[in-house]
Structure 1
Amino acid sequence: MSDPSALEGLQLPEQRQQAKGHDAARAAISAQLAERRLPGAILLHGPQGIGKATLAFELAAAILTATGDEEFGRVREQVAALSHPNLSVLRRRPRDGKGYYSVIRIEDVRALREALNHTRGRAGHRIAILDSIDECNPSSANALLKTLEEPPADTTFFLISHRPGQLLPTIRSRCHNLALRPLDDASLEAVISASLPELDIGARQRAVQLAGGRPRRAFETLALAEDSPVGALQAWLRQPEEAPIAAGLQLAEALGSNPQGPDMSFAREIIGDWLAGEMRDAAMQQGGRLRLASASELWEKAHALLDEADSVNLDMKQTLTVIFDAIRKHRALSASPAEPA
């Protein structure tokens, strides 16, 4: 089963099987495994690119070893090759040698369900990994729900999600939910060093700085030029209300000049992370109703503008100029004293 999101030159999650960080989630599943009370479905959710799939395959190898009759090294080899008979993996499938389907289709889910209903190929638990469930369309999500409502015996589903809020509530309610967070800098640097030991220290530190705790994003930074404006965007977002207006205009010009380039792709992720952080911080701030309302409005406005720019091919530089101006105004409002609770 090929991985449509694979990065060239890097190991796939099933080949790594050793996720850095995420100790609490790992410990929770290990304890359930030791007590022989594994959930029927486990939802691993968090930002994209933090190692959720790698952790799922790591846990899958541990479960298959603990409940089966083969030694760990042999099981790891089979998981890496996706050849273990008690392991099923569902991803977007290739489309006749011409790329991949844009979604996980209902026929894919039905094929998975049929495979799980067959007699197991080996002693022990069975594992099904959906990487990612976000890519199910409504029909396939409903088909999956039926399977989760009546799961096969001694089977655990690992559902990988980058956007759990968009999943069917009935799917979330049938899962043991484990929220994963971005890695700390030391763990992230260890991931980079293990995967690219030849990378010089300057490039490695730059990747850590730009990645925001996401190993995948760290590897993607290698496509950026050293003078990429992405670093300037991160610096600007730390205190946008104090930066001169011209700085925002220059950023919009630099990033928007190539809407399909790696700089703009990175910028959109960074802006999205920043907006999510503003929403989260405002929701936790006592008496911060105005800030939360402003952050919510900013979130909707920024995403609507970016979606519109994509759909009708608007000038990305102008779109970013409007978004950056809205961010400055929001932060200026947030800097004023909070209203009484």
Structure 2
Amino acid sequence: MKPGQSLRQSEQVLREADQISDVAAPEDGHDLVGHGQVYARLMAQFEAGRLAGGILLYGPRGIGKATLAFNLVRNILASYGDEPIGRIGEQIANGAHPNVRVLRKGLRESGKGFASEIVAAPARKIIHEFHQTRGRAGKRFCIVDAVDDCNKSAANALLKILEEPPADSHFILVSHAPGLLLPTIRSRCQAHMLKILPEDQLQQIVGNPDIFSAKAPQNDIDAALKLAGGRPRRALEALKLAGNKQIAALMIWLASPETGTSETILEIAEGLAGVKNAGAMKFARQMLTDWIYNETRAAAYAKPLIKMRLASANQLWDKANTLFFQTDTYNLDASQTMVTMFDAITKHARQIHTIAIMD
């Protein structure tokens, strides 16, 4: 097996709370696509004996941060041992490599579903192991995917070992929102920013059967790439939702929300709130926040600057995040939440459209 070659598994094992069916997990051994500069920098540090004890990989959700981490670990371990990389990859994927640990949200005690956060007990267990005699000579790694999921106790436990990591031990922290981490954790890690990927690299990922095992027609792939915004996970989620009527209708509506009707808004919202549409509802929320983010950037860089447009876009951003949080926390009516956001976006878009006509 060549370095980084994928491990083809007959059955998909659910290892992550947000794992997508038909999509390989980050540890499943597929090749890394993109992020070559960051990967090369870390490998060069390893070869020079300067790999940091704490490494923070940060960037938007779903761009391949964990995939980079597992590729890095797999290839480092293969570079000095006598085991083939395929065997090392299998051990890591099955949680059986003695020098690699993965810290994620675990299963609930009932065995149904995953916990909402990473708690202290598994973090302390891994830290205790790292202070013991290692199971195999060489470097040890712990991949925390994602450190954003750690509760306060788990984060404090990690902080202690990051302050004085044992020799040849490395903690790779994946973060989607590094600004929300404890400042003391950030200061004890070497940070590497990962960026969104260009469309040709997204095409490589969604067209790789080792990553996405389902076959998709090219028109579905093209639509998914448009929705992805440079994030492989979003492209794969879009492919899984190909043919969803509400997502297709929402794409059309977001292209010109100022011209939409209340009937269209209500139909989309009620359809997304259906029992079998939970995945589509989550994706639709992301579509709305993506639209607001892009509108905010456009408003900020527009010449001449229209302060009202930027202020309104910022208010939309705050409103969306607050409403979605409250809906999830207090189990509010998801359909009504979407209608409220649709109305707010429509109002904003019509105001901007009116200003553009007057100019």
> Shared topology, TM-score over 0.5?
yes
1:43 partner letter: L
Does structure 1 residue 158 correspond to structure 2 residue 157? no
Query: Matched residues in 2 for 1:17 and 1:102: separation?
Result: 28
1:223 to 1:298, Cα distance in 2 relative to 1, 3 A: same
C-alpha deviations, 1:31-65, integer Å up to 9, x for none? 22232211111212222222221111001112222
Give the aligned partner of residue 59 of structure 1.
Answer: 72
Structure 2 matches for 1:220-299, cutoff 5 A? 220-224=237-241, 226-240=243-257, 243-246=258-261, 250-259=264-273, 261=277, 262-280=279-297, 291-299=309-317
> How many angstroms apart in 1 are the aligned matches of 2:99 and 2:306?
50
What is the alpha-carbon distance in structure 2 between the residues aligned to residue 281 and residue 169 of structure 1? Answer: 31
SS in 2 for 1:307: helix
Aligned-partner Cα distance in 2 for 1:114–1:244: 60
Q: Which residue of 1 aligns with 2:34?
A: 21
2:224 is matched with 207
Does the CA-based 8 Å contact 1:256-1:264 persist in structure 2?
A: no
Asked if residue 44 in structure 1 is aligned to residue 44 in structure 2, the reply is no
Q: Which amino acid aligns with 1:139?
A: S
Alpha-carbon distance between aligned partners in 1 of 2:171 and 2:87, rounded to the nearest angstrom: 22
**Letter paired with 1:115:** E
The answer to whether structure 1 residue 178 and structure 2 residue 192 are counterparts is: yes
Q: 1:263 to 1:198 in 2, by over 3 A?
A: closer
Alignment of 1:64-83 (within 5 A): 64-83=77-96
Per the TM alignment, residue 111 of structure 1 is displaced from its structure 2 partner at its CA by 0.3
Moved more, 82-91 or 312-321: 312-321
1:90 aligns with 2:103: yes
Residue in structure 2 matched with residue 309 of structure 1 by the alignment: 327
2:149 to 116, 128, 135: 135
Q: CA contact under 8 A between 1:211 and 1:221: conserved in structure 2?
A: yes
What letter is aligned with 1:172?
R
Counterpart code for 1:231? A
Compared with structure 1, are the counterparts of its residues 203 and 258 closer, same or farther at alpha carbon in structure 2 (3 Å cutoff)? Answer: closer
Indicate if the aligned counterparts of 2:253 and 2:260 stay in contact, CA closer than 8 A.
no
CA 264–98 in structure 1, closer or farther in 2 if over 3 Å, else same: closer
Identity of counterpart residues, as a percentage?
43
In 2, the alpha carbon distance for the partners of 1:136 and 1:95 equals 15
Structure 1 CA distance for aligned equivalents of residues 161 and 47 of structure 2: 25
> 1:5 is matched by which residue type in structure 2?
D
- Identify the residue that residue 196 of structure 1 maps to in structure 2: 213
Evaluate the alpha carbon distance shift between residue 200 and residue 258 of structure 1 in structure 2; reply closer, same or farther with a 3 A threshold: closer
Are the structure 2 counterparts of residues 197 and 244 from structure 1 closer, same or farther at C-alpha, using a change threshold of 3 Å? closer
Structure 1 contact 125–155 (Cα < 8 Å) conserved? yes
For 1:110, give the aligned amino acid.
R
Distance 2:237 2:172 in 1: 26
The counterpart of 2:114, out of the listed 93, 100, 106, is: 100
Q: CA RMSD in A?
A: 2.8
Corresponding residue for residue 9 of structure 2: none
What CA distance in whole angstroms lies between the structure 2 residues aligned with 1:285 and 1:68? 55
- Residue pair 2:22, 2:214 contacting (<8 A) in 1 also: no
CA-to-partner distance for each residue in 1:3-39, whole Å, 9 max, x for gaps? 3332233322111342211122212212222322111
Is the 8 Å Cα contact of residues 54 and 162 (structure 2) preserved in structure 1?
Answer: yes
**Does the residue aligned with 2:102 lie in a helix, a strand or coil?**
strand
Q: Kindly report which structure 2 residues correspond to 1:110-149, keeping only aligned pairs within 5 A, or say none.
A: 110-149=124-163
TM-score, normalised to structure 1, is 0.85
- Segment drifting more, 305-314 vs 179-188: 305-314
User: What letter is aligned with 1:99?
Assistant: G
Change (3 A) 1:167 1:292: farther
Instruction: Give, in angstroms, the shift of residue 282 of structure 1.
Output: 5.0
Conserved in 2, the CA contact under 8 Å of 1:229 and 1:251?
Answer: no
Amino acid at match of 1:322: T
| Structure 1 portions without partners, runs of 5+ | none
The separation in 2 between residues aligned to 1:249 and 1:301, in whole angstroms, is 22
- Aligned pairs, how many? 334
Flag the 1:218–1:16 CA change in 2: closer, same or farther, 3 A.
farther
Amino acid at match of 1:46: G
Please, what TM-score do these two structures have when normalized by structure 2?
0.81
Amino acid across the alignment from 1:34: E
Q: Which moved more, 1:249-258 or 1:20-29?
A: 249-258
Q: Secondary structure at the match of 1:160?
A: strand
CA contact (8 A) 1:43 1:172 kept: yes
**What's 2:235 paired with?**
218
